[in-house]
Amino acid sequence: PQTIYLNEYQVPAYLVDHVDLRFELFEDGARVHSTMTVRKNPESSQADAPLELNGDSLKLESVTLDGSQLAGDAYEEQGDKLVVHTVPAQFELNVVTWIEPQNNTRLEGLYKSSGMFCTQCEAEGFRCITYYPDRPDVMAVFRTRVEADKADYPILLSNGNPIEQGELEGGRHFVTWEDPFPKPAYLFALVAGDLVEKKDTFTTCSGRSIDLRMYVEPRNSAKCDFAMDALKRSMRWDEEVYGREYDLDIFMIVAVDDFNMGAMENKGLNIFNSSCVLASQETATDASFQRIEAIVAHEYFHNWSGNRVTCRDWFQLSLKEGFTVFRDAQFSADMGSPTVKRIEDATLLRTAQFAEDAGPMAHPVRPASYMEISNFYTLTIYEKGAEVVRMIHNLLGDELFRKGSDLYFERHDGQAVTTDDFVRAMEDASGRDLSQFRLWYEQAGTPVVTVSDEYDKQSGVYRLNIRQSIPDTPGQSGKKPQHIPFALGLLDQTGQPLPLNLTADEQNGPEERVLELTDAEHSFEFYGLSDRPVPSLLRNFSAPVRVQYPWTREQLLFLMSHDPDGFNRWDAGQRLAVDVIQSLMEASGDAEIDSRLVEAYRSLLNDTSLDQALVAKMLLLPSEAYLVELADQADVPAIHEARERVLTHLATSLREELVACYRRSLAQGDYQLTPDAIAHRSLRNTALAWLLHIKDVEGLAFALDQYQTADNMTDRLGALRALVNSDFVDEREKTLADFYDQFRDDPQVVEMWFSVQAASHQAGQLPQIKALLQHSAFDWKNPNKVRSVIGAFAGQNLAGFHKADGSGYQFLADQVCRLDDSNPQIAARLISPLTRWKKYAPQYGQQMKAALEHVRNKNELSRDVYEVVLKSLA
């Protein structure tokens, strides 16, 4: 496969102003008639270039130029392109293709899911529908007529507003849709099915009434309310915080079961993976509700950050994704607990994005090259991209950032632009120079910020020495220092914040400052300090960097209970727990566990005056994945064992407190989705998990009772998960069977049932995983099922996956090979745990490498998997 480079970008030779599409949908295929109004691009230097259209898996039926069918020698199908040799400066081109959605298992382009037709065109799926210049800088006005059998497909949808509908012969009907906003083909969507319609309305800030619609299969009609409300909250929030009003008369959401990712922001017609939109108290956990709210908001926010202003090319993907993730994170923070949201985002970043940035697939937020763009929908593009926008926000402040975003939307409305255009709008609106800051988009790798300090009692001066370095990544070495906003505070010995005086004359400096690191080394002096302060560094995770500072356990314990920054309180607890676990791994088998950790957790459990949402997060020990990330040559069984030992010790020492915490946080009154109620559910389920971890019989009684009487899925699944992860084998098996019986008809719950087992060290050993693949509810064609068994096993059940005999790796390699033939995008994502083989102790790493080689040797490897395997073995 060919590598595509950013520095070879050329403007399109031809532009399309209008596209008229007509879809004839049948059971054995679909005929697509496309009529494009095309003209030469005045900005292109390729004056007499032939017209080249992209295509993939199409059967071409005819090509007509300005009304005349073209002779066979006037055009050519060259691999994945249709080339029309000679064309006038302006013309109408009609192309008819035949496609087979019913056989489309890649889930790109037009395909069938549970009997309905639906599309996924980002990034390059439109070319699986018809021949077209399938690149985001070709923006056209689309009109789409959909024709299908009326009884089987009463609902026919596409982008924009409906303009005509009617009956056709043979029991068929049609609806025509028109989207007045020019858009790239990746935002095209079509849905046809037998769906129920949920209706609502939203009145915009200028008083326009928008029809809101959700379309779902009839069995899901009671699971739409939450998403509809989340949509309305998102629409209001985008008006209030960004001044963005919705533009069409109708906004639609459709739920489909078979979907490669979470959701898609097609103009006016968002298509969602069912698991990211359908929810009810009985079937969705708090985590799913929060995820749904965030994804509904994310897709809606794309209407401006992505659709009205789109990407020039796919190297600019983070322009829309990073900005939109930042926007949805701000929204989620406003809807719930900002500190908890920040902790969740930083955890994801530090655990998974840092790992990506240190691995063979590391790439900048704006990559310089790719083979298969689907492989670049990564944590770096999304999450690190969002952190980069967050840093701009923090450097500019609320008001100037808003001025910058207003300018960006106004200046580039209707255009396909670059991350550089975004930064320029921020610069122009604020007057700030962000030239060095741009390196965040160009350089891959996680900066390491190393801090040391000195205190001079006599002068009362405290000095922080801060160095930054950025590790080499594939294809990039010798990197330049980046512009890092580094928030910090200093605390006195009683925990009071100290004024940060940067000169001897300053008296009442602020209690928090954002230092701007721009050089490889800096020294900052703080004056007027009568005692050595305790530093609180990188508050609220002000930049996506690793901080190294020689914290003592006393300092961490102190920060855990005194830092006014909630994020850093949590972080201190995590660092302390990591330190205890790591020292256990280095010591002999029966080394003691620091009693101060137990006492710190005891105060967390006892002190009900603390923010319970923060306590719920602080009680969670660092994950095995995070411990792997921090290790040099990770030995997963050793990490697993040490972490389990700490957990057992904590649970045994704190048994009484856990029982009291469990009782205290039992549900009172009606089920609510407030941050406080969510925190209490999280606390009680953590307490339950810990009690069952030590095989406590009272804990078992709590779990069985909670499982039976729960009025919501968070508690029911919490009890099930605690049982599944325990040694109570009979109760585990009985409860698993009961759960499946109750929820066997609900695919989203069955997916949770699969993943609770696959992610469990107790219930998810390889033979059990193989048995799950044979289960009647497992479906190779459904990405959610594949993720919930194979993905959960390899990604979350680290001790089950990393076996000394390499059986886990070989298993994963076999499944990847199998999936590569039907759905390469999913196969390429699934292989990711193997790609980091260099991170592991050699006896594991070498076997992981061998499994990758096994995949490399497969015949007819897809471009998706080929790119990942090639780069991982380089």
Active site residues: 299
Binding to ligand HT7 (CB under 6 A) within 123-162 occurs at 123
- Would you state the structure tokens that stand for residue 272, as one six-digit string? 């969602």
Residue of 157, 154, 158, 192 lying closest to 173 (CA atoms): 154
Among 147, 299, 421, 427, binds ligand HT7 (CB under 6 A): 299
Among 20, 56, 122, 387, binds ligand HT7 (CB under 6 A): 122
In whole angstroms, what is the distance from residue 276 CA to residue 264 CA?
11
- Between 259 and 866, CB nearer to Zn ion: 259
Q: Residue 373 Cβ, how far from ligand HT7 at the closest point, in Å?
A: 8
Rule CB under 6 A: say whether 265 interacts with ligand HT7: yes
181 binds, among ligand HT7, Zn ion, none (CB under 5 to 8 A by kind): none
Burial of 10 (0-12, 13-18, 19+ CB in 10 A): exposed
Q: Residue 61 Cβ, how far from Zn ion at the closest point, in Å?
A: 35
Give 660's contacts (C-beta < 8 A, 6+ positions apart). 605
Q: Residue 230 Cβ, how far from ligand HT7 at the closest point, in Å?
A: 15
Q: Return the residue matching tokens 């709008």.
A: 425
Q: Residue 106 Cβ, how far from ligand HT7 at the closest point, in Å?
A: 10
- Check if the beta carbon of residue 634 is closer than 8 Å to that of residue 689: no
Contacting range for ligand HT7; rule: CB under 6 A; set: 69-77, 298-306, 765-773, 809-817: 298-306
- Check if the beta carbon of residue 295 is closer than 8 Å to that of residue 155: no
Among 97, 104, 120, 832, binds ligand HT7 (CB under 6 A): 120
Binding to ligand HT7 (CB under 6 A) within 188-227 occurs at none
- Between 19 and 389, CB nearer to Zn ion: 389
Binding to ligand HT7 (CB under 6 A) within 357-416 occurs at 374, 377
Contacting range for ligand HT7; rule: CB under 6 A; set: 115-123, 162-170, 415-423, 465-473: 115-123
In whole angstroms, what is the distance from residue 568 CA to residue 343 CA?
9
Whether omega for the bond prior to residue 123 falls within 30 degrees of 0, making it cis, is yes
- Between 323 and 837, CB nearer to Zn ion: 323
Please provide the DSSP assignment of 460-507 as one string. TEEEEEEEEE---BTTB-SPPP--EEEEEEEE-TTSPBPP-BSSSS--
In Å, what is the CA distance from 211 to each residue of 78, 203, 276, 326, 622? 44, 9, 22, 27, 45
377 binds, among ligand HT7, Zn ion, none (CB under 5 to 8 A by kind): ligand HT7
Burial of 7 (0-12, 13-18, 19+ CB in 10 A): exposed
Rule CB under 6 A: say whether 536 interacts with ligand HT7: no
* Pairing mode of beta strands 310-311, 513-517: unpaired
**Residues making contact with Zn ion (CB under 5 A):** 321, 324
242 binds, among ligand HT7, Zn ion, none (CB under 5 to 8 A by kind): none
3-state SS assignment for residue 92 = strand
- In this structure, the number of other CB atoms found within 10 A of the CB of residue 286 comes to 21
How many positions of this chain bind ligand HT7 (CB under 6 A)? 15
Binding to ligand HT7 (CB under 6 A) within 807-866 occurs at 825
In whole angstroms, what is the distance from residue 127 CA to residue 258 CA?
20
Contacting range for ligand HT7; rule: CB under 6 A; set: 48-56, 119-127, 358-366, 637-645: 119-127
Contacting range for ligand HT7; rule: CB under 6 A; set: 259-267, 400-408, 425-433, 479-487: 259-267
Residue nearest to ligand HT7 (CB): 261
Q: Residue 370 Cβ, how far from ligand HT7 at the closest point, in Å?
A: 13
- Between 375 and 555, CB nearer to ligand HT7: 375
Contacting range for ligand HT7; rule: CB under 6 A; set: 66-74, 168-176, 296-304, 480-488: 296-304
- Check if the beta carbon of residue 299 is closer than 8 Å to that of residue 227: no
In whole angstroms, what is the distance from residue 242 CA to residue 221 CA?
32
Give 401's contacts (C-beta < 8 A, 6+ positions apart). 392, 393, 426, 430
Element (H, E) at 582: helix 566-586
- Between 299 and 629, CB nearer to ligand HT7: 299
Q: Where do the DSSP E strands lie in 41-149? A: 51-54, 59-65, 68-69, 75-78, 81-84, 90-99, 109-113, 116-120, 140-149
Rule CB under 6 A: say whether 118 interacts with ligand HT7: no
- Would you state the structure tokens that stand for residue 502, as one six-digit string? 């940067």
3-state SS assignment for residue 24 = strand
- Between 376 and 739, CB nearer to ligand HT7: 376
- Between 264 and 819, CB nearer to ligand HT7: 264
Among 183, 298, 363, 575, binds ligand HT7 (CB under 6 A): 298
Q: Residue 798 Cβ, how far from ligand HT7 at the closest point, in Å?
A: 27
120 binds, among Zn ion, ligand HT7, none (CB under 5 to 8 A by kind): ligand HT7
- Would you state the structure tokens that stand for residue 789, as one six-digit string? 């068994």
Binding site residues, ligand HT7, CB under 6 A: 120, 122-123, 260-261, 263-265, 298-299, 302, 321, 374, 377, 825
